[in-house]
Amino acid sequence: MTLAVTASLLLAGCGAGATGNDSDAPLGFMSADAREEATAGGADGDLTDAAPDAADDGGDALTRQAGVRHMVVTGTLDIEVGDPREAVRHTVNIVEMAGGLVQEREEHVGRDGEGSARVVVRLPVQDAEATLDRLEELGTVVDRTTSGEDVTDALLDLEARTRALEISIGRLEGLLERSGTVSEIVEAERVLTARQSDLEAMTARRAHLADQAALATFTVHLWSAAEDAEPAPAGFTGGVVRGWDALVATLGGLALTFGVLLPWVLFLGALGGLVLLAVRGLRRRQAATALPVASTSPAPSGPPAPGAGATP
């Protein structure tokens, strides 16, 4: 019964300190005798020893990081360049030389010489500004923004919660090695599984936040505008040039229209020829069938000639 008492009190104390919510500590299935034993037994000593350990570990961590501020830095950099593809290659080289990495990379090639690229880079926070200054040399800077969020308190809170959960899990694992009733062991294992799941989620969250604070994230947009066309000459020469361009454009449009319609004309012509041949063949058959009928029919009889049939 000491196992149930100690586990229940430990879970109620450490669980509330670690997660800050109701975690269903296994007190409901305990008998009145077990509760009396909890007040008189040695479980209080275990809890008394556990609390200072958790406080010391958390306090040491807070003391070690008291003078360090953790910032999540993000920003954008928009640059107009001559050749976006070449600028992307230079961007990758500059970022890698600074100890950063390229997280995303997109390139688009448009018409009339237009092109654009988007590169998401991760840079060490201490070298971010110097690296951005080098990237600005690739072209004409249109816009540059930088923002930061202080996540020091969030990181320290996650660290303290993680340590408290680790202590709670360690004591639960030790208590499960002792003897106890089946119901007590099952309930303790259920709570242990929940604690381990909370610890994994909290550890992953802390690692993600630490990664965001260690490397700044910047989105670099690179693009090139289409080259401006040379202005057309004015006066008579300009009129001739514009007229010639209009004629060429019209002929090109007619050629395009003819090219589009040519396959349809050939197809419809072939189909019309087949229909014409079929109609002619049908008419010939009808004419050949009508001729024998006309030759075998008797000649029509006319009125008798005068004097025919008279005897001399």
d(CA 90, CA 106): 14
Residue 229 lies in a domain: no
Residue 15 is encoded by which pair of tokens? 């669980």
Neighbours of 207 (CB within 10 A): 11
**264 and 166: one domain?**
no
Q: Render each residue's pLDDT in the chain as its tens digit; 312 residues.
A: 444 434 443 444 444 444 444 344 343 333 344 333 333 333 333 433 444 444 444 444 443 455 678 889 999 999 999 889 899 999 999 999 999 999 999 988 766 657 899 999 999 988 899 999 999 999 999 999 999 889 888 889 999 999 999 998 888 888 887 767 788 788 888 888 899 999 999 999 999 988 888 899 999 999 987 554 455 566 777 777 788 888 888 988 888 898 888 899 999 989 988 998 888 888 888 887 876 655 555 555 555 555 555 444
d(CA 195, CA 294): 110
d(CA 197, CA 188): 14
Element (H or E) spanning 102, and its range? strand 101-109
Residue 22 lies in a domain: yes
Residue-number span of the structural domain to which 90 is assigned: 71-152+219-224
**104 and 253: one domain?**
no
Split into its structural domains, the chain has a count of 3
Residue 37 lies in a domain: yes
Residue 308 is encoded by which pair of tokens? 């025919």
**46 and 83: one domain?**
no
Residue 173: per-residue pLDDT: 84
Residue 234: per-residue pLDDT: 66
**Ranges assigned E (strand) in the chain:** 71-80, 101-109, 115-124, 140-150, 215-224
Residue 47: per-residue pLDDT: 36
Residue 184: per-residue pLDDT: 78
**159 and 146: one domain?**
no
Residue 211 lies in a domain: no
Residue 294 lies in a domain: no
208-211, long-range: CB within 8 Å, 24+ apart, which pairs? 209/72, 209/151, 209/154, 209/155, 209/158, 210/70, 210/155
Residue 140: per-residue pLDDT: 92
pTM value is 0.49
Decide if 191 contacts 27 (C-beta within 8 A). Answer: no
**139 and 8: one domain?**
no
Q: Which residue reads 């454009």 in tokens?
A: 249
d(CA 192, CA 186): 10
Residue 305 lies in a domain: no
Residue 24 lies in a domain: yes
Residue 6: per-residue pLDDT: 46
**52 and 101: one domain?**
no
**41 and 83: one domain?**
no
Residue 35: per-residue pLDDT: 35
Domain boundary residue among 195, 224, 253?
A: 224
**12 and 131: one domain?**
no
Decide if 12 contacts 22 (C-beta within 8 A). Answer: no
What are the respective helix, strand and coil percentages of the chain, to the nearest 5?
Answer: 60, 15, 20
**80 and 140: one domain?**
yes
**80 and 133: one domain?**
yes
**165 and 51: one domain?**
yes
Indicate which CATH number applies to the domain containing 126.
Answer: 3.30.70.260
**191 and 50: one domain?**
yes
Decide if 22 contacts 198 (C-beta within 8 A). Answer: no
Residue 291 lies in a domain: no
Beta bridge partners of 219: 76, 120
